[in-house]
Amino acid sequence: MRLYIRRVTEALKVTNQDQNHTLPVSDDLKDELLTWVQAKYITTKRSWLKKGLKPVEFKIFTDASSGAAGVEFKGKGITETVYWDPEDPLSQQPIMIKEAYAVHYVVKNYGHLLKNSRVLFKQDNKAVETCFLHGSRKSPELTKWIRMIHEEANKYNIAMDMEWVSTTEQEADEASRKIDTKEAVIKNQAFLNLNKALGKECTLDAFANPANAKCEKFWSLRDTAGAAGVDFFTQEDFGSEVLWVFPPKPMEDFAFQLLQERGKNNFWIFCLEEHETASPIWPEVLNNAYFRILDPETNNPVLFPAKVRSEEFGFWREPSHVSFSFIGHHPENIDLCSEWTGNKTSSKRAAGAPTQTSRTKRMR
């Protein structure tokens, strides 16, 4: 319950010190007062849980590094690395806030898998472990994240415990430090420019997780809360969605084949990654009037995770020795408009590869 008196107490303290007869009501304070009025999250125990009789059903290791959060979900076979968005202020927060975020990420996105259970979180930040029940006197930001963790858990009737473990026993440490180029992201401005070039706003991110989705709707590799579907390759009906498709490099060819079969009546943008040699996808695109090469109008539109922090991109880097092309698709069930027929890809390209002018070159 102490989690819900911090902001009220601080506001009263400041008002008293200033000898002010007016208490300023911020949005945070308003939320806290409404919480007390509604008694929505105020509880000291789960009504269904008799203390000492309910064993721990799930053990979850969470960790954070400067570049990412790591999750090791025992019993569900989930190991996940969640990279900080380079444009998210969270990437600049102290490590204890990032450690709390890792726990919140699990409860928010996997809470439906933990419903009505007791969960033991194991993590190696003493500040988070110490403040997990009552919040922090010294850090309102940490208290805010702890509060959000408990509020998410309450939605799924989850009883939580937290245990500190040493770094050597932290099974999520490796995931939090993993550098995986398959988790590349496109810069926000480049994404907006591609939508404009397509003439449509993408409505569904086909390869995403809750932390990096470019659209409100997304398909995820795992069964995460909020995902519109699980696993792009199992989706059979694309409906009327406008798809943003940025698959990991090893899945690129298969993803493009599936799009041609199941997405022929959809608008979509496909991100093509190439290393030195041209992709076998080009012969399918070059003489097809339903495809067009889109320009992101941004230098180096894609970022890879990085071990070393940069001032401009945080723990991300602009890749070298790689090029990206963005292929726009027009539905086959709609007559081609002049805008598209006037921009058909040329059939006079050597060896089936796009020309410098038609392709977004990023080779360095």
Domain boundary among the residues 142, 177, 212 is at: 177
Per the structure, the count of domains in the chain is 3
Same domain for 74 and 102, yes or no, is yes
Distance CA 238, CA 189 (A): 26
The reply to whether 106 falls in a domain is yes
278, two tokens: 């041209």
Domain boundary among the residues 112, 144, 177 is at: 177
pLDDT at 54 over 80: no
Of the two residues 227 and 353, the one the predictor is more confident about is 227
Same domain for 218 and 330, yes or no, is yes
The reply to whether 10 falls in a domain is yes
Is 20 within 8 Å of 48 (Cβ atoms)?
A: no
- Kind and range of the H or E run holding 127: helix 126-131
pLDDT at 83 over 90: yes
Domain boundary among the residues 177, 193, 217 is at: 177
The reply to whether 153 falls in a domain is yes
Same domain for 24 and 81, yes or no, is no
Q: 319: which residues sit within 8 A by CB, 6+ positions away?
A: 181, 184, 300, 302, 303, 304, 362
Same domain for 193 and 330, yes or no, is yes
The reply to whether 320 falls in a domain is yes
Same domain for 292 and 198, yes or no, is yes
Q: Where is average pLDDT lowest: 17-31, 35-49, 88-102, 156-170? A: 35-49
Is 271 within 8 Å of 246 (Cβ atoms)?
A: yes
Same domain for 205 and 327, yes or no, is yes
pLDDT at 17 over 50: yes
Task: Output the 3-class SS for 214-237.
Answer: CCCEEEECCCCCCCCEECHHHCCC
CATH number at 285 reads 3.40.50
Four-residue CA torsion sign, 247, 252, 256, 259:
negative
Residue 21 one-letter amino acid: H
Is 319 within 8 Å of 302 (Cβ atoms)?
A: yes
Distance CA 16, CA 11 (A): 9
The confidence score (pLDDT) of residue 8 equals: 62
Same domain for 232 and 267, yes or no, is yes
Nearest to 61 by CA among 7, 14, 115, 99: 99
Is 334 within 8 Å of 208 (Cβ atoms)?
A: no
Q: How far out from the chain centre does Cα 256 lie?
A: 23
Same domain for 18 and 92, yes or no, is no
Same domain for 71 and 203, yes or no, is no
> What ranges in the chain are assigned the alpha helix state H?
6-17, 27-38, 95-110, 126-131, 140-155, 173-177, 188-198, 252-262, 282-286, 338-341
Same domain for 65 and 154, yes or no, is yes
The reply to whether 149 falls in a domain is yes
Crossing angle of the two packed helices 6-17 and 27-38, in degrees rounded to 10: 130
Is 329 within 8 Å of 295 (Cβ atoms)?
A: no
Structural domain including 168 reads 43-177
Of the two residues 335 and 259, the one the predictor is more confident about is 259
Same domain for 52 and 17, yes or no, is no
Of the two residues 138 and 43, the one the predictor is more confident about is 138
The reply to whether 285 falls in a domain is yes
- The mean pLDDT of the chain is 85
The reply to whether 358 falls in a domain is no
Same domain for 20 and 74, yes or no, is no
pLDDT band at 138 (very low <50, low <70, confident <90, very high): confident
Is 302 within 8 Å of 296 (Cβ atoms)?
A: no
The confidence score (pLDDT) of residue 23 equals: 65
The reply to whether 357 falls in a domain is no
Mind listing the pLDDT tens digit for each residue in 254-284?
Answer: 999 999 999 999 999 999 999 988 999 999 9
CATH number at 125 reads 3.30.420.10
